[in-house]
């Protein structure tokens, strides 16, 4: 049933006993456990897997790892559809569905390939130049065309159905990468007793040992890795995170990583997240991330069938797949000859080995002779042929004579680039190592060492020795010690090579960045147009951007720039390595913090009671507050709000104001601290009394307001607005600890300790007398406006503050949070005869607008005490935060907008908050603006819409008309300017 015609008869780290069916572009194919999607496609002879970004050229599989720039596919379907997934990293599972990208109507026949004809128009800097064409053209014509033609995958439209987690880990030694260096580092640190975390991007440990036909300690490399893994698994203080990419090095030895918990399964099991993002805090880090093989830039180097030589070995040795039957190997040194040997063993015919070195070492020359291979010393590949797949390779010998041979595989070895990304995330620059023709880590961030191939030491023996030494040293730095582990026997062959990055003058486009279709000609164009620095050329050409991050393109791009500039690569500099090393799903970063869990929800102690009594809730910061309580028969929210307002004005209402910030300020220095923090004087407040408190910022603008109750000589209870509760506590702590450290004060947030109920209306006193335990004298003489007393309710100690936000006779009853619901039930029971009505924040807002109290719309961070009519509160007899800078001329300018009231001239047209104020008859332009409406509502008390506004010269304009203009929502009316207090301006009711 399974026609895996390119699968080798034996070998490989795959489980041949199980066959996994999967689909690519709807075609049913088969693979085995141990396959990646890429190896399974190759096993089935599928070479063409996508179309390129700009030119829609046919593309195949270049690599066998995270550096893959070509084989980007759409994985899964529906809400789980994931674009731009690297087929080389996707573990095959039963029923996997993948589709090629960027092709229309089909992968084989793509109309977009016509872009190739237009190539001269869409070279480097195309986007920037296009922006300079007429703007209207861009939006209507070019952008839709470009988006259709030159996108990569399609993002899913539906919400992500999977769960994600965030986790933290702490360790002594973090080892990144589980190749020979990483395994030895973990072994050395683990044996010393350190707490070790070993992070590996792959599903299996072993790194290149899984891909190379070589032995360690006299047995196959993969087997040796398995033995080490078994020892590590038994260490109680060592943890292995596989399928985990360390993608960022952050300050202070913190590494961010993403664990693909369930991406290798059709769907995450119910109990597991799809991915987990880790924040790992490590005392020492061993970076053993290995190296990435470098392609060579030559004409036609993007044709399917052109593959990195090391990837060829991965497919042969790890996946038992023959990536081609007639091969040409193009190498700059010894390393490519390993692919020659492995291909021969796999049964491929090798038509030519093109070695860039003029002198090929005798051992390799003999290998060629023994197998009758055509050896082209000092050669270059100059071009390729083929439609959807490679059919022939053209090369030139040392003398420049060109010829071609038929081939379906071109294995390219351009040397290896150490994977040093994480070592450079904190701004450290890599260093050019002329001996290996690659960048190696330069100065390292504190606490991090680099081992093995990542440090530019490429032999297996060097990696093992390096890992053992760095792992042990890291453990020792954390206070652990043990004997160094014995270094197992392994190959230590030289890695001779010549520096060859680019074969200029070949046939066809020569791609530097395959993912973004950036060619050598684009870099030359950027250079001609003056974008010569590495960073400029990158941005102008899009070289090494997005998921590539220079993995395959970076060094070749720099080499071409260097040659154009006549400089050495070390002189051109490098681009900056930035996180993330590999693409990370936004879902993994967000973790569980999405939808309703994006931030915590705060419920007052009366939330359930309010919900059971018909409340609609509104979000206020983190809080959910009862907005109004609908009753049967009410047609809409206005009916409910009007009823609630009138109940307060005519009888009594009760409102949950528990969300107000509440802070206790205690100690001998409390009064002095509050005098500093509040603009008005607090220290003169008598015990048992309350005072309105106004807080300024140091720049003189209003910060917050609230009330201050003196509980005892050295103890105050202050309230803040709901929105600023946290900020005010932080500010008080700042004023105490930073500005007045000598004051003996303690601060405590008691917001959640007390439920606070506003009881307001002419019958408020009667209601409280019926509700509270008998005893307290609630008369005006005993409990006047702005005073408080201790009371009991059902035996529970409570506090009764007499203060009014609505302008009515009003109290706030402080009840310990646990008793809030019982208190509310008693109020509703015993208050029925007084007509008690629960009211929500909407009615609360109407009542305060009617009374002209400033709130959110007016306390907007741009108003002064004087603007709000509170200027006389600011004491000039003491120092306080904001006093001095509030005296600045611009803040005391009489023309500044001040708080006024507005009524529609016709008595009925609603006024909208946010409307602009203009002199009637003048042009409606910004320069003529005189202020804006800050709060607006329908006043059931007055029977008309009313508003508060900040109006320039407002006091002088009282009684005049003003134009209220709202061009955004089509509002335009005339209004009468009036004092901001619409109800009971003398304040008789609240004192009654």
- Contacts to another protein by CB under 8 A: 250-254, 279, 281, 426-427, 446, 698-699, 730, 733-734, 737-739, 741, 878-879, 883-885, 887-888
Q: Determine phi and psi for 100, rounding to 5 degrees.
A: -75, 160
Residue 331 near residue 495, CB atoms below 8 Å: no
Strand partners, 504: none
Smaller CB distance to another protein: residue 291 or 696? Answer: 696
Q: Are the CB atoms for 892 and 941 separated by under 8 Å?
A: no
Q: Least distance (Å) from another protein to the CB of residue 740?
A: 9
**Residue holding tokens 């974008």?**
531
Tell me how far, at minimum, the Cβ of 249 lies from another protein, in Å.
12
Q: Which is nearer to another protein, 343 or 886 (CB)?
A: 886
User: 365 preceded by cis ω (within 30°)?
Assistant: no
Measured from the CB atom, the residue of 710 and 731 that comes closer to another protein is 731
CB 699 → another protein: shortest distance, Å?
5
- Contact between residue 800 and residue 783 where contact means Cβ atoms under 8 Å apart: yes
Under 8 Å between Cβ of 220 and 264? no
Cα separations in angstroms, 915 against 285, 542, 904, 911? 58, 46, 13, 8
**Angle ∠(176,182,185) on CA atoms, nearest 5:** 110
Closest to another protein by CB, 212 vs 675, is 675
CA distance 664 to 746: 8
Smallest separation (angstroms) from another protein to the CB of 224: 37
Which of 716, 690, 679 has the alpha carbon at shortest distance from 883? 679
428 vs 567, beta carbon nearer another protein = 428
Nearest CB to another protein, comparing residues 747 and 946: 747
Q: Which of 119, 106, 501 is nearest to 301 (CA)?
A: 501
3-state helix, strand, coil in the chain (%, to 5): 25, 30, 45
Tokens found for residue 267: 């769907």
CA-CA distance, 312 to 39, in Å (whole number)? 10
Residue 628 CA: distances (Å) to CA of 144, 757, 828, 832, 843: 47, 15, 16, 18, 7
Cis? peptide before 105, omega within 30° of 0 = yes
In terms of CB distance, is 166 or 461 closer to another protein? Answer: 166
Q: Residue 800's beta-bridge partner residues?
A: 789, 813
Q: How far is the CB of 589 from another protein (least distance, A)?
A: 14
Identity of the residue, 746 or 779, whose beta carbon is nearer to another protein in the bound complex: 746
Please state, in angstroms and rounded to a whole number, the distance separating the CA atoms of residues 640 and 646.
Answer: 10
Question: Measured from the CB atom, is 724 or 804 closer to another protein?
Answer: 724
For residue 426, the minimal CB distance to another protein (Å) is 7
Closest to 24 in 3D by CA, of 44, 3, 54, 51: 44
Q: How far is the CB of 749 from another protein (least distance, A)?
A: 10
Nearest approach in angstroms of CB 456 to another protein is 24
Could you give phi then psi for residue 260, rounded to 5 degrees?
-85, 85
| Residue 880 Cβ vs another protein, minimum distance, rounded to whole Å | 9
Tell me whether residue 639 or residue 699 sits nearer to another protein (CB atom): 699
User: Which CB sits closer to another protein, 34 or 445?
Assistant: 445
Nearer Cβ to another protein (234/251): 251
Taking the CA atoms of residue 271, residue 273, residue 274 and residue 278 in that order, the dihedral angle to the nearest 10 degrees is: -150
**Could you tell me the smallest distance in angstroms from the CB atom of residue 748 to another protein?**
10
Residue 161 CB, nearest distance to another protein (Å)?
28
Task: Kindly provide the b/e burial profile for residues 307-326, where b requires at least 16 CB atoms within 10 angstroms of the residue's own CB.
Answer: bbbbbbbbbbbbbbbbbbeb
Kindly state the smallest distance separating residue 752's Cβ from another protein, in Å.
16
Output the smallest distance, CB 473 to another protein, in A.
21
Nearer to another protein, 333 or 700 (CB): 700
Helix axes 725-734, 670-677, angle to 10 degrees: 120
CB of 882 to another protein, least distance (A): 9
The edge-to-edge listing of strands for the beta sheet with 392-396 is 380-385, 392-396, 402-406
For residues 530 and 592, which CB has a smaller minimum distance to another protein in the complex? 592
Nearer to another protein, 374 or 878 (CB): 878
Crossing angle of helices 534-541 and 554-565, in 10° steps, is 120
Q: What is the DSSP letter of 735?
A: I
* C-alpha to C-alpha distance for 397 and 75, rounded to whole angstroms: 43
DSSP bridge pairs for 725: none
Whichever of 730 and 862 has its CB closer to another protein, that residue is 730
Name which of 468 and 891 has its Cβ closer to another protein: 891
The minimum distance between CB 879 and another protein, in angstroms, equals: 4
Q: How far is the CB of 928 from another protein (least distance, A)?
A: 30
CA dihedral 916, 919, 920, 926 (to 10 degrees): -50
What stretch of H or E contains 138?
none
N-term to C-term CA, the chain: 94
Closest to another protein by CB, 359 or 733: 733
Tokens 């769907």 sit on residue: 267
Q: Closest distance between another protein and the C-beta of residue 709, in Å?
A: 23
Q: Are 221 and 397 in contact (CB under 8 A)?
A: no
**Exposed/middle/buried for 919, CB within 10 Å: 0-12, 13-18, 19+?**
middle
| CB burial of residue 18 (10 Å; 0-12, 13-18, 19+) | exposed
Q: How far is the CB of 737 from another protein (least distance, A)?
A: 4
Strands (E), 195-324: 196-199, 215-216, 219-220, 238-241, 244-250, 254-259, 275-287, 291-293, 306-308
């Amino acid at each position: 049933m399974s026609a895996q015609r390119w699968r080798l008869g034996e070998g490989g780290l795959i489980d041949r006993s199980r066959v996994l069916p999967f689909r690519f572009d709807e075609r049913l194919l088969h693979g085995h456990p141990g396959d990646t999607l890429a190896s399974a496609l190759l096993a089935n002879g599928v070479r063409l897997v996508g179309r390129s970004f700009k030119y829609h050229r046919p593309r195949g599989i270049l690599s066998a790892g995270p550096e893959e720039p070509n084989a980007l596919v759409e994985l899964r379907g529906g809400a789980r559809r994931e674009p731009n997934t690297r087929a080389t990293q996707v573990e095959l599972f039963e029923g996997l569905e993948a589709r090629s990208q960027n092709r229309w109507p089909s992968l084989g026949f793509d109309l977009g390939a016509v872009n190739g004809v237009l190539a001269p128009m869409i070279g480097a800097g195309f986007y920037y130049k296009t922006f300079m064409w007429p703007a209207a053209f861009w939006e209507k014509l070019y952008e839709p065309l470009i988006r259709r033609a030159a996108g990569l995958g399609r993002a899913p439209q539906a919400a992500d159905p999977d769960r994600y987690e965030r986790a933290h880990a702490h360790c002594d030694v973090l080892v990144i990468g589980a190749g020979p260096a990483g395994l030895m580092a973990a072994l050395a640190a683990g044996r010393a007793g350190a707490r070790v975390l070993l992070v590996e991007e792959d599903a299996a440990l072993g790194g290149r040992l899984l891909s190379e036909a070589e032995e360690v300690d006299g047995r196959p490399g993969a087997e040796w890795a398995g033995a080490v893994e078994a020892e590590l698994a038994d260490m109680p203080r060592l943890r292995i995170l596989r399928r985990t990419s360390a993608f960022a090095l952050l300050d202070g030895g913190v590494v961010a990583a993403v664990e693909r918990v369930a991406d290798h399964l059709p769907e995450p099991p119910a109990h597991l997240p799809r991915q987990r993002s880790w924040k790992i805090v490590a005392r020492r880090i061993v970076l053993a991330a290995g190296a990435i093989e470098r392609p060579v830039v030559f004409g036609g180097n993007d044709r399917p069938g052109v593959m990195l030589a090391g990837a060829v070995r991965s497919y042969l040795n790890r996946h038992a797949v023959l990536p081609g039957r007639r091969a040409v190997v193009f190498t700059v040194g010894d390393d490519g000859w390993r692919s020659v040997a492995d291909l021969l063993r796999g049964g491929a015919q090798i038509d030519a080995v093109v070695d860039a070195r003029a002198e090929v070492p005798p051992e390799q020359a003999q290998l060629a002779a023994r197998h009758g291979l055509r050896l082209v010393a000092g050669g270059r590949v100059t071009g390729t042929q083929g439609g959807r797949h490679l059919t022939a390779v053209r090369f030139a010998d040392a003398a420049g004579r060109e010829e071609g041979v038929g081939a379906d595989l071109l294995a390219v070895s351009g040397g290896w680039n150490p994977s040093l990304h994480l070592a450079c995330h904190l701004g450290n620059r890599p260093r050019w190592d002329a001996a290996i023709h690659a960048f190696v880590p330069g100065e390292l961030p504190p606490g991090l060492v680099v081992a093995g191939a990542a440090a530019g030491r490429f032999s297996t023996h060097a990696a093992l020795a390096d890992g053992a030494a760095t792992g042990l040293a890291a453990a020792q730095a954390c206070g652990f010690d043990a004997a160094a582990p014995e270094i197992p026997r392994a190959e230590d062959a030289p890695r001779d090579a010549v520096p060859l990055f680019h074969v200029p003058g070949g046939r066809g486009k020569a791609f530097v960045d395959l993912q973004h279709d950036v060619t050598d000609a684009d870099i030359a164009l950027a250079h001609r147009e003056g974008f010569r620095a590495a960073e400029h050329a990158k941005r102008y050409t899009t070289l090494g951007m997005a998921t590539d991050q220079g993995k395959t393109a970076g060094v070749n791009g720099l080499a071409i720039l260097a040659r154009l500039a006549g400089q050495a690569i070390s002189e051109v500099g490098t681009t900056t390595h930035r996180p993330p090393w590999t693409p990370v799903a936004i879902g993994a970063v967000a973790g569980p913090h999405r939808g309703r869990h994006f931030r915590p929800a705060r419920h007052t102690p009366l939330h359930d009671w309010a919900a059971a009594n018909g409340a609609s809730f509104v979000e206020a910061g983190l809080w959910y507050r009862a907005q109004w309580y609908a009753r049967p028969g009410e047609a809409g929210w206005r009916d409910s709000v009007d009823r609630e307002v009138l109940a307060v004005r005519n009888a009594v209402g009760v409102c949950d104001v528990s969300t107000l910030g509440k802070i206790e300020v205690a100690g001998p220095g409390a009064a002095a601290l509050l005098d500093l923090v509040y603009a008005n004087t607090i220290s003169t407040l008598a015990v048992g009394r309350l005072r309105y408190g106004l807080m300024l910022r140091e720049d003189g603008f209003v910060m917050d307001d609230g009330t201050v109750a003196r509980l005892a000589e050295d103890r105050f209870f202050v309230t803040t607005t709901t929105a600023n509760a946290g900020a005010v506590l932080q500010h008080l702590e700042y004023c105490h600890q930073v500005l007045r450290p000598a004051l003996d004060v303690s601060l405590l947030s008691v917001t959640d300790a007390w439920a606070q109920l506003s009881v307001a209306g002419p019958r408020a006193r009667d209601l409280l007398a019926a509700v509270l335990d008998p005893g307290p004298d609630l008369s005006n003489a005993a409990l006047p406006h702005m005073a408080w007393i201790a009371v009991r309710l059902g035996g529970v100690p409570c506090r009764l503050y007499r203060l009014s936000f609505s302008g009515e006779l009003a109290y706030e009853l402080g009840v310990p949070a646990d008793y809030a619901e019982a208190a509310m039930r008693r109020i509703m029971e015993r208050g029925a005869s007084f007509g008690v009505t629960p009211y929500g924040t909407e009615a609360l807002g109407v009542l305060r607008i009617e009374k002209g109290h400033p709130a959110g719309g007016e306390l907007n961070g741009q108003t002064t005490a004087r603007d709000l009519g509170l200027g006389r509160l600011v004491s000039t007899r003491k120092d306080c935060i904001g006093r001095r800078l509030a005296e600045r001329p611009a803040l005391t300018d009489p023309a500044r907008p001040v708080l006024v009231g507005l009524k529609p001239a016709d008595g009925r047209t609603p006024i909208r908050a946010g409307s602009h104020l203009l002199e009637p008859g003048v042009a409606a332009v910004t320069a003529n603006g005189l202020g804006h409406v800050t709060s607006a509502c329908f006043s059931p008390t007055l029977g008309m819409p009313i508003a508060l506004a900040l109006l320039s010269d407002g006091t002088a304009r009282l009684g005049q008309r003003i134009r209220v203009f709202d061009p955004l929502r089509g509002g335009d009316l005339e209004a009468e300017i009036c004092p901001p207090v619409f109800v009971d301006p003398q304040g008789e009711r609240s004192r009654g």
